[in-house]
Structure 1
Amino acid sequence: MKTTIDQVAKHLGQEVTIGAWLANKRSSGKIAFLQLRDGTGFIQGVVVKAEVAEETFNLAKSITQETSLFVTGTVVEDTRSPFGYELQVKEIEVIHQAVDFPITPKEHGTEFLMDNRHLWLRSKKQHAIIKIRNEIIRATYQFFSENGYIKVDPPILTGSAAEGTTELFHTQYFEEEAYLSQSGQLYMEAAAMAFGKVFSFGPTFRAEKSKTRRHLIEFWMIEPEMAFMDHEESLQVQENYVSYLAQSVLTNCQLELKTLERDVTKLEKIKAPFPRITYDKAIDLLKEKGFDDIEWGEDFGSPHETAIAESFDQPVFITHYPADIKAFYMKPDPDRPEVVLCADLIAPEGYGEVIGGSQRIDDLELMKKRYEEHQLTSDAYKWYLELRQYGSVPHSGFGLGLERTVAWLSGVEHVRETIPFPRLLNRLYP
């Protein structure tokens, strides 16, 4: 019976055949241990010399790393294994023998591993990270579906910028100038006016020459937009969503978290509601922590976000930033127009901002004024202005960066490991 590693528990005591690759092996005189992977998981195959044909045992001792195989054996319980099962091997059929696989069990430098990213993905750690990424994506679709949202896909090629053109990739769109999208948000606002509650999930691009562990050139964003929803209601959606992601990973990725040696007690604390502080109080907090040079009106960098997060054991919202350092579409606080109804969600453990969101301006005249202040061309943004002209309503939205969230929940230091093929300032290969 042919099966996969993630399904062997259903075949306890039965003989099965698994298509797999040899990840690693070790052997003594009378027994060989084969570390097998098939894409769904990892399992140990045990080959006992006295219980198999001589040629099978010799093959088990000679096959090379990453050789592809059909392995037939009996599924048995193994309490010493993190997976809980192993395979008592009876037969081995080589499909293709790999020679001189470049990534060996020894230590390799980061640049070497990145040059071989197409092969590094096969390792147990990378497998665990991408499985957690997949769980976050699955849970995202489930959360928004259960809460009445529909998925809408904004364009990747756009004729305007969501937050200014300084960090955009330019391209020629026949006779027009176009950009790779840095956010689908403006288009999602249009979708919210049609469908009420929507979300998008897709790639975004920032031509930002940053080399920090939190930045990628190409990354994926989840961007919900909600009609008839104010800032406070949006914050509740955000904290419920992030809590849902954390609990889904805890429930469905136990083996992967163990592989990564993640401290799950930190994830267990991620439950709504989250603490909130205003930008004003954040400034005061930073000064108390020794950041004497930070002044009101300045944006926060990574050291500032980390210092703020250290005061909390959960993610923390920083709300009501100065209008001058935030995007043109954010709604001013009616009681204090110099700040806007916005929030950044800062993850603990130094992972920084994972969500940015705000209530959007819904007043036509105020948006016209913002257009003038930011010198937005009327042609490129005409359609966005019209959203305030035809049945405008209070509405809010946010964007969650997938890779930063994967890094945080999995405990990985650098976002380059949280996406299958990262695009960095100095890397477009493989």
Structure 2
Amino acid sequence: MGEIMKIRTIVLFLFVCLLSWQLRGQEEITIRIKEGMPMIPVAMPEFQFSETAAQKSEINSTIYETIWKDLEFSRIFKMVPREHYSYIPRFNPNAINFKDWASIQANILISGQLEITSDERIIFSFKVYEVASARFIFGRNFGGKKELSRLIAHRAADEMLKHFGEKPLFTSKIVYISETGSDKDVYIMDYDGFRPTRITFSSAIDMLPSWSADNEKILYTSYRNLNPDLFMFDIYSGKTELLSSGGSNYAADWSPVAEQIVYTSSKNGNAEIYLKNMKSGQEKRLTFNPAIDTSPCWSPNGREVAFTSQRNGTPQIYIMDAEGSNIRRITTEGSYHDSAAWSPDGMRLAFVSRIENRFDIYVFNLKSNEISKLTENSGRNENPSWSPDGRHLVFSSNRSGKYQLYLVDYDGRNVRQITAGGENKMPKWQKSPKSAK
């Protein structure tokens, strides 16, 4: 019970204790970014902080560096190198010389200020300006406990994305399996690998976690009853519910538009894909084939399901309608393809392919039928999962010797490791961030 209360406390910190409000007295401007536009150069001088926060430089640095790295990661913004700031006079938020910032090629300027109150709460405010027109775009204030400094920074960076017409990304989370010693448990962490939180506390093996559509529940398979059964964990209540038992039950995926899941089960002898209504509990078998059918994944509109089948002799990627009809094969070359993951725009499928005994991540464009390779000559790469904005993926790889989690851009650029210690596998990115209330 103590561990459940700990999890609930963490959730309350994340979704209740953080406050934000709009700055008053200034008209805001929304800027829309068109597809294919170059990245926007952004300058962000060091944040100002009050005398009461003079001893809190670490918090100030954490917020500053987190926002910087978020925006740098976005593929929307391009951060003007900090060494260029030395070419112009020191930033004064009360008398901004926009010509100075234009001279170092900045299009957007971010000004931030931090205050820490006597009761150890953070008040962080930031303003965003367009340099060429010297006009205010928007501003926000955030308040919360100092333990939430990284979340405050992620919220601020998400406000940047939203104000430029993009989906929030930086407050999103990743669920995954972490193996330490003999334990294999479900964990949740921020998208950048910080603040890992253990969710399950069983001596049995847990595997293949995934999110519910509202991000409030985790589906996963566990051997706690000496059989691979499907469970659902409620993040808020801490309760665990058995969903399916008998045979092997795994690889569950929650519909983005309805209270239903698809999953693989061998309860009737062969590994087939089932549809389960989460309200009524009723189930429907979707596949009927003597070969193994597994790894189902919903399309973003909830009308189709991608899955892996050996019905033609080797594991290949197929798509069927949500009712199990209109099955068609997607991959036509190679002898092993698995773990399909649908991009948020519904136009691409990421999957794992084994060629010459090498496991790599590929992306198939459903419109052009083109395939691109994201990983190469770097160990065994598996379990791709898309970011909410479709510009990045998380995957597991043993390229460093042990399995860790990595991020990569949709075009194979900017690979970075986000976990360390033990072994970390089977990541699933939230389809959309959970908004703080």
- TM-score, normalised by the number of residues in structure 2: 0.26
Indicate the structure with greater helix content: 1
Higher Rg: 1
Bigger proportion of residues as strand: 2
TM value normalised by structure 1: 0.27
